[in-house]
């Protein structure tokens, strides 16, 4: 899957992705945006 997101700042993209990817956490067992 490829998605394009256009925003004025990278912070707004990060906030958007965190909000929408949070639903995957129960399935993955970890946050999908964590670095470890």
pLDDT (0 to 100) of residue 36? 59
Number of neighbouring beta carbons within 10 Å of residue 25:
13
Q: Give the pLDDT of the chain (36 residues) as one tens digit per residue.
A: 787 888 899 999 888 888 888 888 888 887 777 665
Asked whether the beta carbons of 32 and 21 are under 8 A apart, the reply is: yes
Asked whether the beta carbons of 21 and 14 are under 8 A apart, the reply is: no
Q: Global pTM?
A: 0.54
Looking at residue 23, what DSSP letter applies? G
């Amino acid at each position: 899957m490829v998605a394009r997101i256009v925003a004025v700042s990278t912070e707004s993209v990060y906030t958007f992705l965190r909000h929408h990817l949070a639903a995957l956490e129960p399935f993955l067992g970890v946050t999908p945006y964590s670095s470890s």
